[in-house]
Amino acid sequence: MSLPSQRVELPAGERDRNPTDASAPIPAHVAIIMDGNGRWAAQRGLPRAEGHRRGVAAVRRAVRAATEMGVRYLTVYGFSTENWRRPPDEVADLFGLLKRFIRHDLAELHDANVRVRVIGDRAGLSSDLVSLLDEAQDLTRRNTGLTLVVAFNYGGRQEIARAARALARLVRAGQLDPEAIDAEMLGAALDTRDIPDPDLVIRTSGEMRVSNFLPWQTAYSEFVFLPDFWPDFDERTFRGAVDQFRGRDRRFGGRGAQAV
Ligand code: IPE
Ligand code: IPE
Ligand code: MG
């Protein structure tokens, strides 16, 4: 039996290894920084493109596992605004994989009642890709299962700047009093306006940074950093990260569940 009072005696670093309380909630929203495709390939003497290709298979596993665990929202970071710094052939590979993933998997995702959402900057994407993303969102709009949020050409700072511009335009048009702008209003102007904040952020590959991923929305998220490279991510890894999350005491600035 894992009594709360036993847990509180554990040093902070040990808390993650504490047996999970069966009543602890499953995270409603898991956001994943899928990192390490290139290193996975390099370890095997394969081209980076092969790492990215195998990364798509890991996305499919993550979608299935999220659905099975009862996660409601799964966000995957597919391409950052900074990833344009990579060589053009790698950028083309990543764009090609997104297109192929949607063309190949859309019907299956729809059958599985998955709702697809895309966040990020549409400017800078070709019109055929934008149409494909719109098609995926439109087809699955009314689905009631997992919401799969694909962050593509996404940068958190750019998203916040876009939201600020949208509010500034309303102020200029005389439709908004600057004094009325609060955190809730700015949040409602982001790409994620109708998506709850992530409860859990997972990053693979051993890197411990955010890389411009959902900086606003992760203000109170729990982070789990895994050593595995993304192409090796599977249901077991996913469940392990969720178990770590379930052992955490989220306080949101208050005294927390274990306060006496
Ligand atoms: C993640 O793998 C995929 C993207 C960032 C698009 P990487 O391509 O970053 O792989 P590493 O970090 O170089 O190993
Ligand atoms: C973050 O990974 C972006 C995605 C997973 C799409 P990167 O590999 O681009 O991040 P850095 O450059 O190591 O911070
Ligand atoms: Mg990387």
* Residue 157 marked as a ligand binder: no
* Residue 38 marked as a ligand binder: yes
Q: What local confidence, expressed as pLDDT, does residue 2 receive?
A: 37
Of the candidates 228, 232, 239, 191, the residue with the CA atom closest to the CA atom of residue 30 = 239
Ligand 1 nearest-atom number relative to CA 39: 14
The number of beta carbons lying within 10 Å of the beta carbon of residue 35 is 23
E strand or H helix at 77, and its extent? strand 73-80
Residue 204 gets which letter from DSSP? -
Ligand 1 neighbour 218 (Cβ under 6 A): no
Q: What local confidence, expressed as pLDDT, does residue 19 receive?
A: 56
Neighbours of ion ligand 3 (CB under 5 A): 35
Q: What local confidence, expressed as pLDDT, does residue 212 receive?
A: 98
Distance CA(48)–CA(51), nearest Å, equals 5
Distance CA(35)–CA(231), nearest Å, equals 9
- Nearest CA residue ID for atom 13, ligand 1: 38
The two structure tokens encoding residue 26: 């499953």
Residue 188 gets which letter from DSSP? T
Can you give the pLDDT of all 260 residues of the chain as single tens digits?
Answer: 333 333 334 444 444 445 567 788 999 999 999 999 999 999 999 999 999 999 999 999 999 999 999 999 999 999 999 999 999 999 999 999 999 999 999 999 999 999 999 999 999 899 999 999 999 999 999 999 999 999 999 999 999 999 999 999 999 999 999 999 999 999 999 999 999 999 999 999 999 999 999 999 999 999 999 999 999 999 999 999 999 999 999 999 998 776 65
Please tell me the distance between residue 36's alpha carbon and the centre of ligand 1 in angstroms. 5
Distance CA(173)–CA(108), nearest Å, equals 45
The two structure tokens encoding residue 213: 């991923």
Q: Which ligand is located closest to the Cα atom of residue 48?
A: 1
Angle at 85 between CA 80 and CA 90, to 5 degrees: 85
Q: What local confidence, expressed as pLDDT, does residue 9 receive?
A: 42
Whether 232 is a known active-site residue: answer no
Class of domain 25-155+197-246: alpha beta
Distance CA(188)–CA(194), nearest Å, equals 8
Sequence ranges of the domains in the chain = 25-155+197-246
* Residue 89 marked as a ligand binder: no
Q: What local confidence, expressed as pLDDT, does residue 172 receive?
A: 98
Q: What local confidence, expressed as pLDDT, does residue 21 receive?
A: 74
The number of beta carbons lying within 10 Å of the beta carbon of residue 81 is 17
Rg (CA), the chain: 20
**CB within 8 A of 154, min separation 6: which ones?**
77, 78, 79, 80, 81, 119, 120, 121, 191, 212, 213
Ligand 2 neighbour 80 (Cβ under 6 A): yes
E strand or H helix at 158, and its extent? helix 156-172
Q: What local confidence, expressed as pLDDT, does residue 154 receive?
A: 98
Order of strands, sheet of 29-33, starting from the edge strand that comes earlier in the sequence: 115-119, 147-154, 73-80, 29-33, 200-203, 222-225
Q: Which ligand is located closest to the Cα atom of residue 212?
A: 2
Distance CA(137)–CA(75), nearest Å, equals 14
Catalytic residue among 21, 83, 197, 232: 83
Whether 89 is a known active-site residue: answer no
